[in-house]
Amino acid sequence: MSEVLRNRVYIVTGGSRGFGLAIAKQLVAQGANVGLISRNQAGLDQVVAELGTDQAVGMACDVGSSEQVCAIFEEIRRHFGQLDGLINNAGLAAPNRVENLVEAEVISQVHTNFLGTVFCSQAAIPWLRGTDNPRIVNISSASAWHYDEISHLSIYASTKAAVERFTRDLRLELQHDCIGVTCIRPGGAITDFSVGWDPDAFAAALEGWKDMGTYMDMGMVPEDVAEAVCYCLTQRPGVAVDLLEVRPSVLTPKDGF
């Protein structure tokens, strides 16, 4: 067990399932406390019951609302009495051809993926300033730069490219406060990410994607991303991983997907 994380407090957005849940589990296993955020309180309650109420608290909040984020961050900080870091992980996608995207699909992706990262960073910075190893870790996606992800992700990939560009400036600004800022760019892992996608739009996206080669970038599991997050959080004070791209090193055939 790493002593570096013991008694630290991290907010993990999107902590109710998938990557966020795996990150929360690894942090708790290493003695850290976690404040988990997602829009669904019932899902968070289940996770907190599993992780233990001593080390975990879950509070419903839409990261795309600055007002909600400010209120919830204050509550989590008050609950644990400190904040050592933020993992901006909440994200969603709505694959569709550009011409078919409806306004709500565009806005929800921009709000959650990009503005959520901005609003949560804004809320965390004042609490992080002055602590002894403060960190912000932003979760991007390989689809921001690589074309072997599924097709029709124009808006999703653009929001993640925006997260990466935002992270670069955030890093420069927060060097003055010794706050380490990291972007992790994961490849694909099976989670509930595609639950709720429009089935016709998803089928069309898979069609286009299958024309782009035989293999896919889906060979990871959420725990791989959690390992990467813990690696970044446990750098010594004064050192930060700027950008970490983690992708599968095995070929997974698209047949049968």
Ligand X SMILES: NC(=O)c1ccc[n+]([C@@H]2O[C@H](COP(=O)([O-])OP(=O)(O)OC[C@H]3O[C@@H](n4cnc5c(N)ncnc54)[C@H](OP(=O)(O)O)[C@@H]3O)[C@@H](O)[C@H]2O)c1
Residue 193 sits in the site that holds ligand X (CB under 6 A): yes
Interaction pattern, residues 18-47, with ligand X; x per rule: CB under 6 A: xxx----------------xxxx--x----
Residues that contact ligand X, how many (by CB under 6 A)? 29
Q: Minimum distance from CB of 130 to ligand X (Å)?
A: 27
Residue 189 sits in the site that holds ligand X (CB under 6 A): yes
For the chain, what is the HEC assignment? CCHHHCCCEEEEECCCCHHHHHHHHHHHHCCCEEEEEECCHHHHHHHHHHHCCCCEEEEECCCCCHHHHHHHHHHHHHHHCCCCEEEECCCCCCCCCHHHCCHHHHHHHHHHHHHHHHHHHHHHHHHHCCCCCCEEEEECCHHHCCCCCCCCCHHHHHHHHHHHHHHHHHHHHHHHHCCEEEEEEECCECCCCCCCCCHHHHHHHHHHHHCCCCEECCCECHHHHHHHHHHHHCCCCCCCCCEEEECCCCCEECCCC
Q: Which is nearer to ligand X, 131 or 166 (CB)?
A: 166
Taking CB under 6 A as the criterion, the residue among 89, 109, 131, 138 binding ligand X is: 89
Q: Which is nearer to ligand X, 32 or 216 (CB)?
A: 216
Residue 117 sits in the site that holds ligand X (CB under 6 A): no
231 is catalytic: no
Residue 229 sits in the site that holds ligand X (CB under 6 A): no
Residues lying near ligand X in the complex (CB under 6 A): 13-14, 16-20, 37-40, 43, 62-64, 89-92, 112, 116, 139, 141, 186, 188-189, 191-193
